[in-house]
């Protein structure tokens, strides 16, 4: 047996597994998105309709573009705030100090929590009547008493973003700490000897060297933000109105609540297209030579 054939045999189970769990469902759902499949009518795949389901989204559905806008706002806010917070945490934790390992352990705890549970907890904490956040904010700013955070499109989006940042920032902080630790300290010391301020050292020396890790983190977080689902279900249910309905949640609703699986598959494929482009960028950055 040649080495090449032996390698193929060893790789075959992995290929089969990926083909069965990823390729097959993706091809099937693409095929579904080109057909009528409404379980309210029939459990069988209906007529071939070409790109009609995609046209339904882009042209006829009154909610679709609103959902796209909400998704874009959420991703931009969520990714930028998560990465900024993570960078801040990473810079602070990188410095040696008493109790560093305890702080590092504690700070990862939010990431260990389930997003669905986080949504429920934040929903409770934001209740204007008895919620811990709402009461604390009202104690500091009395004018904020009785503000219903989840009834305002702006505040509910901020709450959703805050919960997600709280959940993900520790993970990315650890990722960026790895990147920061890999930067040769001599480059920063040299800049300081040349009279550069801390800000200049960070901006002109640290940040450019951290950029590859940072870009990977941004792409990765964008993928995670686009997929957000659990916390929306448990915290805002996509409301008020449709102000926190993102693409993933929208696709779920069309498919599993409305049974319009043909259309849901098309919406899911639009999301998949965006995710594919981001993943492609991630792969290019992560594995570039």
Partner 1 sequence: MHINRRELIAGAAAAGAAGFAPVSSALAAITPGKPFAGKEIKVLAVQSTQFAAHSKKVAAFTEATGIKVTYVYVPFAALRERLTAEMVGGSDDFDLMTAMDVWIPPLVDKLFAPIDKDLAARKIDMNRYPAAFTSAGKFPTGTYGLPVRCHIQLLWYRKDLFDKAGLKAPTTWDELVEVGKKVQEQNPGIAGITIPYGRADGQNLMVWYNFLWGAGGDLFDDKGQPIFNSAAGIKATQDFTDIILKHKITPPGAASFNESDSTTNFFQGKSAMVPVWWHVYNRLRLPDAMVKADQVGFVPLPSYPGKGATTYTNQWIYGLNVKTKNRDAVMEFMDYICGADIEKSILVDPAESDVVCVHWQNLRDPQVNARFGDMHAIAAKALETTTKAIPNTASFLPVVDALAGAMSNIVTQGVPIPEALNTAAAQAQRIIRRGG
**Site residues (CB under 8 A) for partner 1?**
38-43, 56, 60-63, 127-129, 146-153, 156, 237-243, 253-254, 256-260, 263
| Minimum CB distance to partner 1, residue 57 (Å) | 11
Question: Coil, strand, or helix at residue 253?
Answer: helix
| Minimum CB distance to partner 1, residue 198 (Å) | 44
- Rg, C-alpha atoms of the chain: 23
With tokens 């301020």, the residue in question is 197
- Nearest Cα to Cα of residue 221 among 158, 270, 281, 157: 281
| Minimum CB distance to partner 1, residue 257 (Å) | 6
Question: Coil, strand, or helix at residue 222?
Answer: helix
Q: Which is nearer to partner 1, 259 or 285 (CB)?
A: 259
Q: For residues 96 and 100, what is the distance between their CA atoms, to the nearest angstrom? A: 7
Q: Which is nearer to partner 1, 130 or 199 (CB)?
A: 130
Q: Which is nearer to partner 1, 3 or 154 (CB)?
A: 154
| Minimum CB distance to partner 1, residue 81 (Å) | 23
User: Is there a contact between 221 and 83 (Cβ–Cβ < 8 Å)?
Assistant: yes
Distance of CA 161 to the CA centre of its chain: 10
Q: Which is nearer to partner 1, 115 or 179 (CB)?
A: 115
Q: Which is nearer to partner 1, 184 or 241 (CB)?
A: 241
| Minimum CB distance to partner 1, residue 240 (Å) | 4
User: Is there a contact between 225 and 168 (Cβ–Cβ < 8 Å)?
Assistant: no
| Minimum CB distance to partner 1, residue 38 (Å) | 7
Burial of 141 (0-12, 13-18, 19+ CB in 10 A): exposed
Q: Which is nearer to partner 1, 82 or 244 (CB)?
A: 244
Question: Coil, strand, or helix at residue 141?
Answer: coil
């Amino acid at each position: 047996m040649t080495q090449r054939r032996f390698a193929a045999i060893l790789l075959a189970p992995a290929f089969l597994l990926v083909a069965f769990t990823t390729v097959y469902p993706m091809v099937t759902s693409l095929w579904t998105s080109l057909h009528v499949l409404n379980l309210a009518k029939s459990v069988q795949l209906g007529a071939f309709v070409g790109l009609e389901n995609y046209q339904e989204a882009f042209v006829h559905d009154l909610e679709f573009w609103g959902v796209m806008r909400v998704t874009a706002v959420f991703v931009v806010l969520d990714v930028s705030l998560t990465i900024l917070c993570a960078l801040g945490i990473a810079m602070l934790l990188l410095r040696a100090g008493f109790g560093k390992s305890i702080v590092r352990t504690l700070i990862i705890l939010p990431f260990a929590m389930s997003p669905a549970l986080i949504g429920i907890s934040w929903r409770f904490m934001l209740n204007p009547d008895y919620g811990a956040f709402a009461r604390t904010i009202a104690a500091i700013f009395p004018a904020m008493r009785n503000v219903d955070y989840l009834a305002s499109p702006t505040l509910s989006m901020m709450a959703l973003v805050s919960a997600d940042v709280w959940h993900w920032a520790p993970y990315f902080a650890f990722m960026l700490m790895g990147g920061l630790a890999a930067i040769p300290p001599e480059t920063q010391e040299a800049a300081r000897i040349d009279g550069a301020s801390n800000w200049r050292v960070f901006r002109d020396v640290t940040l450019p060297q951290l950029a590859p890790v940072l870009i990977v983190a941004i792409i990765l977080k964008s993928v995670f933000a686009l997929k957000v689902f659990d916390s929306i279900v448990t915290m805002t249910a996509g409301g008020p109105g449709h102000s926190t309905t993102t693409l993933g949640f929208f696709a779920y609703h069309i498919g599993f609540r409305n049974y319009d699986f043909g259309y849901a598959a098309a919406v899911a494929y639009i999301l998949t297209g965006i995710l594919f482009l981001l993943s492609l960028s991630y792969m290019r950055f992560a594995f570039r030579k």
